[in-house]
Amino acid sequence: MLHSKEFVRILKSAGYDFFTGVPCSLISDVILSLEKDPSVPYIPAVREDVAVGLAAGAYLGGKTPCILMQNSGLGQCLGALASLNLIYRIPCLLIITWRGHDGRDAPEHEVMGKALPRLLDSVRLPYKRLTHKNAHKAVGWTRQVISQEKVPAALFITKGVLK
Partner 1 sequence: MNITQAIKIIMRHLGDELLITANGRISREAFAINDRTENFYMLGSMGLASAIALGIAVNRPERKVVILDGDGNLLMSMGILAQIARLSPKNLVHIVLDNEVYNSTGNQPTISAQVSLEDIAKSSGYTKVAKVTARGTLETTLKKCLNARGPSFILAKIKPDNMPKGLGRVTHTPIEIKERFMSGINGEKRD
What residues make contact with partner 1 under the rule CB under 8 A? 18, 41, 43, 45-47, 49-50, 52-63, 65, 79-80, 82-84, 87-90
Residues in contact with 123: Cβ distance below 8 Å, sequence separation at least 6, in sequence order: 78, 81, 82, 86
Closer to partner 1 at the Cβ: 79 or 160? 79
- To partner 1, the closest distance from the beta carbon of 52 in angstroms equals 7
- To partner 1, the closest distance from the beta carbon of 156 in angstroms equals 23
Write the DSSP string, 74-136: HHHHHHHIIIIIHHHT---EEEEE-TTTTS-S-GGGHHHHHHHHHHHHHTT--EEE--SS-HH
DSSP H or E stretch at residue 143: helix 135-148
Closer to partner 1 at the Cβ: 63 or 109? 63
- To partner 1, the closest distance from the beta carbon of 50 in angstroms equals 5
- To partner 1, the closest distance from the beta carbon of 130 in angstroms equals 25
Closer to partner 1 at the Cβ: 90 or 112? 90
